[in-house]
Structure formats: C-alpha cells, structure tokens
Amino acid sequence: MRHSLAVFLLLSLVACSTDPSKDESLTADQLYSQAKQALEDYNYEKAITHFETLQSRYPYGRYAQQAQMEIAYTYYKHSEPAPALAALDQFVKMYPNSPHLDYVYYLKGLINFNENINSLFGTWFDQNPAERDPAALRESFDSFKELVTRFPDSKYTPDARIRMQYLLNTLADGEIHVASYYLRRGAYIAAANRAKNVLIEYPQTPQSRDALQIMVQAYDAMGMKDLRDDTKRVLDLNVAKDGDRPEAKAMPKQGTPWWNFWN
C-alpha cells in the first residue's frame, strides 16, 4: 500500500514538472503567451488548461476578461459548443459592463448559428415537416438580435444582421414546408393557419407570396370563396415581376473572427 502511494506521488510530481501551466513562477504574460501558442498550434485542450490557469492565478489582472473569452473561443474551435456558451454566459455575469460585450454576444450568436445550421442540414429536412421544432433556430436569432439591439454601432452588427435575415428566411421556409405538407394531405385549416403565420411572423421574407398562394388553395378547397377571392386580390397586388421579387440572402461564410485586445 505504501509502495503504491509512493508511486502515485512520484507520478504526480513528474506530471506537474512537465506541465508548464503548473509552474508557479510563470507570470501572467508568460501564461498567456503559452496559451496563445497552444491555440495557434491547434492544441485546444492545452490552450484551455493554460487559459484557465491564467484566470485562476490572476483573477484581477489585465488578462482576466481576455482569458474568459479565449476559453469560450477555444471551446468553440474545439467543436464543444456547450462549454463555449457556458463560458460566455459566465463572462456576462462576471463582467456586465465590459466594453467587449458586443463581441461576447456576437460569438454566442455565431456558435448557436453554426451549431443549429449544421443540425438543420443534417436532420431538419429529413423529418416529417409537422414535427420540426424551430426553437433552436430562434435561439440563434435571439442571440444576434441582442447584439444588434444593444450595440447597433458595433463592428459585428452588420454581419449579425445578415445572419438574422438568413435565419428569418429559413424559419419562414420551414413554416411553408409545414403548410404545404398539410395542404397535400387535405388538412386545409391547418395549412391556411400555418401559411397565415408566415404573414404575421415573417412579413418581409420572400416566403410571403408562397404563404398567400397556399392560403388561396386551402380556402378554395374548403369552398370559402370570399376568403379565397380576398386573399387572391392581396396576392395579385403583391406579385412583382420575377426580377423584382426579393430573394433570400445567401448564408454568410463561416468565419472564425477573433482579435487580440492587447496588440
């Protein structure tokens, strides 16, 4: 038993001696430099360990806020969105008046966007349209909306607006798929209601015309001639020439924005 304990202690000492982050003599600058180098070398686990060590040893130092954001960013790069988002939420609690909150909200929105869009193309369109849950996409939208609302002049706001419009178009398109699904199966009331929801929730999207067309067909199938004719008149007034019809914005390229506050 004593022999086993001695071996354990020896191994622990060896591990500490080979892990630079365990060196108590390292300054904040040295720890940060090593963490950044690990990040540049794509050694994300090592980078996270160094940033966390830096934060715990120098909680009130010049790198305190930077380390917390770098931890979130490194988790994001390491394809671990949950701890990345948790780190960002912790940042907001710790530094509610930070001048870097705009970046924090942008990164939060970007993580949600990438995660949900990947999930969207991987499973969403393979599901029964009536069973799709747009909550994840709304979460992405809400994250960017908070940035745009609170920091309209931020350098991250223009990109956030583009992503918000893309998300709105995607959400509206999802509603159109559901409405079309109901229409094909003869559930005309459900089809008309889902199409009407597009006009209410996403009035400025290209899918508005599709929603009106579905409503016309649903009302016609139900023999509701007055509603059909009224909707048809609205549709005719809103039908533009093909070249004038607004198109959905393309999804932005998946960037990895980052900048160093201390340059």
- pLDDT tens for the chain, 263 residues: list them: 555 544 444 444 444 444 555 667 789 999 999 999 999 999 999 999 999 999 999 998 899 999 999 999 999 999 999 999 999 999 999 999 999 999 999 999 999 888 776 665 555 556 555 455 677 788 889 989 999 999 999 999 999 999 999 999 988 988 999 999 999 999 999 999 999 999 999 988 999 999 999 999 999 999 999 999 999 999 998 875 444 554 444 555 544 443 343 33
Residues in the chain: 263
User: What confidence score (pLDDT) does residue 20 get?
Assistant: 55
pLDDT, position 230: 95
Tokens of 91: 């940042």
pLDDT of residue 243: 44
Residue-wise burial string across 126-152, b where 16 or more C-beta atoms lie within 10 A, e elsewhere? eeebeebebeebebbbebbbbbbeebe
| Residue 126 C-alpha from the chain's centroid | 21
CA distance linking residue 237 with residue 153, whole number of Å: 37
- Ranges of each domain in the chain: 20-79
Give the per-residue pLDDT at 218: 97
**What one-character DSSP code corresponds to residue 161?**
H
Q: Could you tell me the two tokens for 116?
A: 């949900």
pLDDT of residue 17: 45
- What does the pLDDT read at residue 118? 66
Rounded to a whole number of angstroms, the distance between the first and last alpha carbons of the chain is 53
Specify the pLDDT at position 7.
46
